Amino acid sequence: MTALRDISLLVARVILGVVLIAHGWQKYNDWTVEGTGQNFDKMGVPSPELAAQFATYFEIAGGALLIIGLLVRLVGPILFVEMAAAAWFAHRDGGIFVADGGWELVAVIGAAGLALAGAGAGRISLDYLLATPFRRRKESKLAKKNAEAHGYVDPASGTGNSAYAGAGNGAVAGTGAAAGAGNGAMGNNHVAHGKNTGSFGAATDRNFAQEDYSDAKTTAFERPQTGNSDGHGIANNAAHKVDPNAPTTQWPGDTRKK
């Protein structure tokens, strides 16, 4: 609410309240309640005595409530209904203008009451003052609800609500998973590299073994050796280093010269 709105509502309430009090006092002091009932009876108002009492005391009390800004949302609709009844029973044949006995004045009063019922009394009122504890409680609940929805963490305690904690833990877990995946991939690369190194080492050891035992009996294979990295090339290299004077054992069916 702005200050201009509060001041406008205050001025509207005071003016309308003064007008109502004046009309009610006229019925009570000038016409008397009994005389007002008789006039209502002539107009065809149902239960004229009761209607006269209600109209008189409501206008005085309702005007005062509007001025101080208390129960404005309740007074407004009641005032609108009373003015609508007055327009129907007392002024419907007089046209619009007050000078002709028309419904101009009662229509404006009723519309003002209905507008205040919708807009409220504003901050310069007893309604606003008395509703402060309830309003603060409502605002506190709303703020707490919004905090839970947006993952608020209390700066004093450092704790958060369940929604925030869940989101935070999920994010951390996701980061950990990503890191784990990266380490796993790197580990696989290291393992593969180790396997290659191990194969190379094994092949080297076998070459050395053939050199150390070059004087021993050597077995020649029937199928040709291609020097692949799977160990066959190692045997082929060793065959070139065999002593030609050493006895040789051949596979059955070997057609080469001994």
pTM above 0.95, yes or no: no
Look at 251 and 201; give whichever has higher pLDDT.
251
How many Cα atoms are found within 13 Å in the side-chain-facing hemisphere of 220? 21
Q: Flag whether 168 is in a domain.
A: no
Q: Flag whether 158 is in a domain.
A: no
* pLDDT score of 164: 41
- Exposure string of 45-71, with b = 16+ CB inside 10 Å and e = fewer, is beebeebbbebbebbbebbbbbbebbb
The pLDDT of 61-71, averaged and rounded, is 98
Q: Flag whether 68 is in a domain.
A: yes
Cα 213 from chain centre: 82
SS3 of residue 153 by DSSP: strand
**What percent of the chain is predicted at pLDDT more than 90?**
51
Residue 24 lies in domain = 3-142
- 222 and 127 share one domain: no
Q: Which of 44-58, 96-110, 134-148 has the lowest mean pLDDT?
A: 134-148
* pLDDT score of 157: 55
Q: Flag whether 150 is in a domain.
A: no
Q: Which of 2-11, 109-118, 147-156, 189-198 has the lowest mean pLDDT?
A: 189-198
Distance CA 119, CA 141 (A): 24
- Which residue, among 8, 138, 22, 111, has the nearest Cα to 69 in the 3D structure? 8
Identify the bridge partners of residue 219 per DSSP, sorted by sequence position.
249
* pLDDT score of 149: 84
pLDDT digits over 104-149, tens only?
Answer: 999 999 999 999 999 999 999 999 999 999 988 988 988 888 888 8
The pLDDT of 24-43, averaged and rounded, is 97
Q: Flag whether 175 is in a domain.
A: no
- 137 and 15 share one domain: yes
The pLDDT of 47-62, averaged and rounded, is 97
Q: Flag whether 22 is in a domain.
A: yes
pLDDT digits over 192-249, tens only?
Answer: 333 433 333 333 344 433 444 444 444 444 444 444 444 444 444 444 455 556 555 4
- 244 and 131 share one domain: no
Q: Flag whether 51 is in a domain.
A: yes
